[in-house]
Chains A and B, each alone.
Chain A
Amino acid sequence: MLRNNIGVHLTIALALILIAALAGGVRKWKKAAERSRQTVSHPVPDTDDQESKSGEEDDTDKAEVLVRFRAGTTREIIDRITRQFHDEVEDRIESVDGLDVIEDEDGQSAADVVAQYRALPEVEYAETNSAILLDHEDRGRKHLHADDEMFFRQWGLSNGGENGGLAGADISAMRAWAVTTGSDQIVVAVIDSGVDYTHPDLVKNIWTRPEIIKAYNDDDLGAVDDVHGFNVVDDNDDPMDDNGHGTHCAGIIGAEGGNGIGIAGVNWNVKIMPLRFMDGDGAGTTKDAIEAINYVIDRKRAGVNVRIISASWGSHTRSRALEDVIRKAYDEGILFVAAAGNAGTDNDQTPHYPSSYNLGNIVSVAATNRGDQLASFSNYGAKSVQVAAPGEEILSTWLEHGFTEKKGTSMATPFVAGVAALILSQNPKMSVDDLRTQLLKSVDPLASLKGKVSTGGRINAAKAVGAE
């Protein structure tokens, strides 16, 4: 009798244990589903992997945001704000005044929490706590997040869908950076209104003529001590920008990344060669453009590893002389990335130069917006425009050591020039033909660009460097 009772009790105990195990599994699966809905840009690995790798428990369910409160915001005010939002200060970053890690306690998404804090006058900035992680759902591809203060505004590099944007409508920069963040052995010539080479977010990435390279010799001016480039407008050695446009383009290509300030360029490390041929109003002559390209060719022949020209300018005027000098740049192995123009017209019908010259080293660039649509102002051309890149609401470096947003195919062009520099950072000896081919096959095909650009796509930096 007693043995039978023991058997029954054991059976009941085993059954209860099984039921409890099953119930626990269901709870885990439900929490994993909630995390997937909350996280936009970083899909959550399946539950078993997360537990084995991080060992974290339920805290990973809650949205975490990084909020920096403005100077003068007291602890009492911060605590009042977080209580009001049903949040908690999870951690304080002592080395940065006012920077707190805020944890949501009432089930809001990270994006919603960020929006709440950004709306407050006490808040300098708020951003999601994007992790550096191995993305299991992305077949093991890594991301590298930039800690630059305003990186969260650079949708062109990483788009989480904020401000009406489309998550993922970006150049996949973070995936590209897991492979390469650029190289200071690669020189990109920004032929423009000059560059503020003293800007704190550019200064380390400005080209300086090595002592081994002879100073530039101009036929009319004689020797020019081109420490940082050349000023064709004023015929001197100082390419300082007094318009801002060139500085903006330079920042897109190579604002120093990972320095905690400002923005991140497509390349965290690169060398920008400033050329000034446009004046303070942002206009220049064909002759001066030719002289600037001539300078780049001369420097290449002298031994400078300048392989890319970024040309965010143009007009409808065709010039055989300009075409000839760009062809000479091709002979020297230099890629010429040019803006398609902003009239909203078809360049196949109404060419825009220099982007419409039919040369093997030219890449003509249209602009997209944060929804991955062709920007309303952007020129296009199924034959004569090759790729598109982000070109609206683009934040970059500006005069007086500042930052500002601009729009235009001017902004899209340096994205492509920057991606070209990333490619070369891995393979510096790549020919200009192979470089152009690699760029043109490294796009995300988009329905919005079909029949608008020859590749039908928006540039993808991660594809360009083999990260996906």
Chain B
Amino acid sequence: MVSDDNATLVRARRDLAERLGISKDDVVMKSVEPADFPDAALGAPLADEMSAQVITPGWRIILKAGETNYEYRATARQLRLVNFNGKNYRI
């Protein structure tokens, strides 16, 4: 069970709140599940990015703001936002 004060979750919520221009309190954690991603970019590469083709264990984080879900992917070292307005971001 991942607590709300988990550092990665805090970063993700803060990032989303800033992007949406809303309070962090309006961003809720919907789910955090372990996941295997297809590469070192966690399956969410940036536009000009090449990544190691190794299966990378991490977590899929779904945050909810309003009625919309937003997906973040994380490992101990990285945090990425997936398909936000059509683009991936490395936080």
- A binding-site residues for B, Cβ under 8 Å: 192-193, 243, 245, 248, 277-278, 280-287, 289, 312-317, 339-344, 377, 406-411, 413
Contacts and interface: CB of A to CB of B under 8 A. Distances in A.
B39 interface: yes
Interface string B14-53: 0000000000000000000000101111010111111111
Nearest to B41: A283
B10 interface: no
Given A245-B40, A283-B40, A312 B53 contact: yes
A245 B54 contact: yes
A317 B51 contact: no
Given A248-B54, A342-B55, 18 more contacts: A245-B54, A280-B77, A281-B40, A282-B52, A282-B54, A282-B56, A285-B48, A313-B51, A313-B52, A314-B50, A315-B50, A340-B53, A341-B39, A342-B54, A377-B36, A406-B54, A407-B54, A408-B54
Size band of the interface chain B makes with A: 20 to 34
A341 B38 contact: yes
B87 to A, nearest CB: 13
Contacts of A283: 40-41, 45-46, 49-52, 90
A413 B55 CA distance: 14
A313 B55 contact: no
Contact of B50 (A248, A284, A340): A284
Contacts of B48: 285-287, 317
Given A281-B40, A281-B78, A315-B41, A406 B55 contact: yes
Residue of A278, A287, A315 contacting most chain B CB atoms (<10 Å): A315
Contacts of B49: 283-286, 315, 317
A312 B52 contact: yes
Nearest to B49: A283
Residue of B36, B50, B77 contacting most chain A CB atoms (<10 Å): B50
A192 B50 contact: no
Interface string B51-85: 11111100000000000000000000110000000
B12 to A, nearest CB: 17
Given A286-B50, A315-B45, A315-B49, A281 B55 contact: no
B40 A407 contact: no
B77 A408 contact: no
Contacts of A341: 38-39, 53
Contacts of A377: 36, 38, 55
A406 B51 CA distance: 15
Residue of A282, A341, A342, A409 contacting most chain B CB atoms (<10 Å): A282
Nearest to B75: A281
A59 B74 CA distance: 57
Nearest to B56: A282
A342 B53 contact: yes
Contacts of B56: 282
A324 B13 CA distance: 42
A367 B89 CA distance: 29
B51 A411 contact: no
B80 to A, nearest CB: 10
A148 B24 CA distance: 54
Contacts of A410: 52-54
B7 to A, nearest CB: 17
Contacts of A342: 38-39, 53-55
Contacts of B40: 243, 245, 278, 281-283
A313 B40 CA distance: 9
Given A245-B40, A281-B78, A341-B38, A192 B53 contact: no
Contact of A317 (B47, B52, B54, B78): B47
Shortest Cβ-Cβ A-B pairs, 3 listed: A282-B40, A342-B38, A282-B52
A339 B41 CA distance: 15
B77 A281 contact: yes
A318 B65 CA distance: 34
Contact of B51 (A280, A287, A315, A344): A315
Contacts of A277: 50
A270 B10 CA distance: 47
Contacts of B90: 283
A312 B50 CA distance: 10
Nearest to A407: B55
A196 to B, nearest CB: 15
A314 B52 CA distance: 7
Nearest to A355: B53
Given A281-B77, A342-B55, A377-B55, A313 B38 contact: no
A316 to B, nearest CB: 8
